[in-house]
Amino acid sequence: MNQSPLTELLHPHLYQIDSLDDEVRADTRCGELLQHFFKHQCDRKKLPAQQAASLAYGADYFLREFLIGELRHNILRPRPGAVRVFAGHWYIVRNLEPNMKELEGFLDGLVPFYEFCRRMEAVDAGIVEQLAEEAEERDYFRERIESFLAIEGDGFEAWQRECPLIR
């Protein structure tokens, strides 16, 4: 029985990363999956292309830069706390001028992406719920950015302990 290209892209084994080759494969397949997500947002959700592209870009940054590139985690099996660490630590230290407007764009894209994956039965509803709850911690992320920008002296270690990177 032939599977659709989208169905084939939703197999968790495609995103299991144990080597550099696996990472390259996961990144490539994730890009293809994001194209399907974009098309879904335009065709099924009837979003304007610019809005759909913004959602896909937000999800892309979280998935390909953080989960795949930094943590080497399976995008279809995100660990609890991944969004919190992404937004409350990784994004902040990886950007020259971290700000809530940009961060909110990333957070706004990742939840619809995982809802799309849930509708395709690639992730459980509990995962989507957990990610959505973490993505809503906007006041916490705003405080993390502000406290990071206000660090003086050796204050980075205390700031980092508040929300350490997970591996």
Q: Which pLDDT value is given to residue 36? A: 96
3-state secondary structure of 116: helix
Q: 131 and 87 in contact (C-beta within 8 Å)?
A: no
Q: Which pLDDT value is given to residue 69? A: 96
Would you mind telling me the total number of residues written for the chain in this entry? Answer: 167
Name, in order, each residue with C-beta under 8 angstroms of 148's C-beta and a sequence gap of 6 or more. 92, 93, 98, 159
- pLDDT by residue (tens digit) across 15-30? 999 999 999 999 999 9
Q: Report the C-alpha gap between 134 and 45 in whole angstroms.
A: 24
Domain range list for the chain: 5-162
| pTM of the complete model | 0.91
Side chain identity, residue 95: N
Percent of the chain having pLDDT more than 70? 98
Q: 58 and 107 in contact (C-beta within 8 Å)?
A: yes
Name, in order, each residue with C-beta under 8 angstroms of 139's C-beta and a sequence gap of 6 or more. none
3-state secondary structure of 110: helix
Structure tokens at 146: 């502000």
Sorting pLDDT into bands at 50, 70 and 90, what band is 1? very low
Q: Which pLDDT value is given to residue 2? A: 53
Q: Report the C-alpha gap between 38 and 18 in whole angstroms.
A: 28
State the average pLDDT for the chain.
94
Q: Which pLDDT value is given to residue 3? A: 64
Average pLDDT on 96-101 reads: 96
Sorting pLDDT into bands at 50, 70 and 90, what band is 127? very high
Residue 68 has pLDDT above 50, yes or no: yes
Side chain identity, residue 108: D
